[in-house]
Amino acid sequence: MDRYSRQILFKKIGEEGQKEIAKKHALILGVGALGTHTSETLARAGVRKLTIIDRDYVEMSNLQRQHLFTEEDALKKWPKAEAAKKRLQQINSEVDIEAIVAQADAALVERIIEDVDLLIDGTDNFETRFLMNDIAHKYNIPYIFGSCVGSFGMAFTIIPGETPCLQCLLKKLPLQGQTCDTVGIIAPTVQMVTAHQSAEALKILSGNRDTVRKTFVSFDLWDNEYVSLKTGALKDKACLSCGEDCTYPFLQADANTKVAVLCGRDAVQIRPAEGESLLLEQLAERWRSAGYEVGGNPFLLSIVKEGRSLVFFKDGRALVHGTKNLDEARRIYHSLIG
């Protein structure tokens, strides 16, 4: 136990807390910027098991903020979950690391959820976050939300039955077009979010539920701002994810974004849940200011990214031309929309 001695000396954890941590299994959805940081911290802290899920592979543009990955991982286009696992095992061979290279959908997550003690947000889109939120409430597992862009970030710990859930806070899927691909990100923003996520994770995993932060934290590191906001007023008894008659809408297949190859064409159609609408003018402005050429008319926008031509419709639908690969289309779509 010498390797955890400094964590055991911290009285709020101690020998007892360390024993608890060593029994626990955390599931981290997404090992990009947030997920590489939290998985490294929890592996170093000595959890029993970490499951990491990611559909993506390592690229050079990830290295600026995604820990665990090296130039070699990017050159070999190593899947992120596998590249992370390789490094995590060098850091702590005592931890059982399960790497899953796949889209985290309801079927997959429900299959592996059984002995999971904690869900940690490492994703880059709200669709997967709402899925995690429903999983958390259906199986009564704490879920630590985090997200960031630019120098701005946020974190909140959701405890089923106590706090409002992500659905209570946001009401519906935000489609703001604020992603790391459109407005950029600096690494310290990621680290500030994950410092909060990891501290909350250690509280929960070591059996210190009473010290879990009850406020929603939001900050801007460049503008030197930090706010800590109470959330109680937003808890909604009628919420379909955490309320009295909850149905876990994001676990139902037809609630999620639908992705399908278009019949007879080299193109994929993506259709978001719940008929979300897009604010085309705002999206166009944001993409242009990020350096993209954006075409279109009042009814649709067109943009080229990674050699693929995309068309976005007002009703939220998008077509990704030049591919039949559903995962690639989905990835490019989310890199522009969030």
Partner 1 sequence: MNKILLFAHLKEQAGSSNLTFDVSGKTVRELRDYLESETDLGSLAGIMIAINEEFATDETVINEEDVIALIPPVSGG
Which residues share a beta bridge with 40? none
Instruction: Provide the β-strand partners of residue 313.
Output: 300
The dihedral built from the CA positions of residue 5, 95, 89 and 73, taken in this order, carries a sign that is: negative
Q: What angle do CA 141, 121, 67 make, to 5 degrees?
A: 135
Alpha carbon 55 to chain centroid, angstroms:
12
CB-CB contact of 60 with 84 (8 Å): no
Name which of residues 260 to 289 contact partner 1 (CB under 8 A).
Answer: 279, 282, 286
Which residues 216-275 are close enough to bind a second copy by CB under 8 A?
221-224, 226, 228
Name the region of 301 (left: φ>0; alpha: ψ -120 to 50; beta: rest). beta
Residue with smaller CB distance to partner 1, 232 or 295: 232
CA dist 53 → 19, 273, 335 (Å): 26, 22, 18
Q: Select from 29-37, 83-91, 203-211, 294-302 the region that touches partner 1 (CB under 8 A).
A: 29-37
The contacts of residue 281 (CB under 8 Å, 6+ apart) are none
Q: CA 330, CA 268: separation in Å to the nearest integer?
A: 9
Q: Which of 213, 235, 317, 321 binds a second copy (CB under 8 A)?
A: 213
Range 215-244, binding partner 1 (CB under 8 A) = 216, 218, 220, 223, 225, 227-234
The widest CA-to-CA distance across the chain, in whole angstroms, is 64
Please choose, out of 70-78, 111-119, 159-167, 318-326, the segment that lies near a second copy by the rule CB under 8 A. Answer: 70-78
Kindly tell me which residue out of 163, 198, 241, 323 binds a second copy, with binding defined by CB under 8 A. 198
Q: Which is nearer to partner 1, 189 or 206 (CB)?
A: 189
CA 33-37-38 angle, 5° bins: 115
For the CB of residue 179, give the shortest distance to partner 1 in the complex, in Å. Answer: 5
Count the site residues for partner 1 by CB under 8 A.
51
Alpha carbons 27 and 113: distance in angstroms, whole number: 8
Tell whether residue 126 is a contact of partner 1 (CB under 8 A). yes
CB of 317 to partner 1, least distance (A): 19
Which range binds a second copy by CB under 8 A, 89-97, 137-145, 294-302, 303-311? 89-97
Stretch that binds a second copy, among 113-121, 180-188, 234-242, 294-302 (CB under 8 A): 180-188
- Which of partner 1, a second copy, none does 140 bind, CB closer than 5 to 8 A by kind? none
| Structure tokens given for 134 | 């429903």
Listed ranges 48-56, 106-114, 175-183, 296-304: which one lies at the site for a second copy (CB under 8 A):
175-183
Binding residues (CB under 8 A) for a second copy: these are 2-13, 37, 40-41, 44-46, 60-61, 63-65, 67, 69-72, 90-93, 150-151, 180-189, 191-192, 194-196, 198-199, 202-203, 211, 213-215, 221-224, 226, 228, 289-291
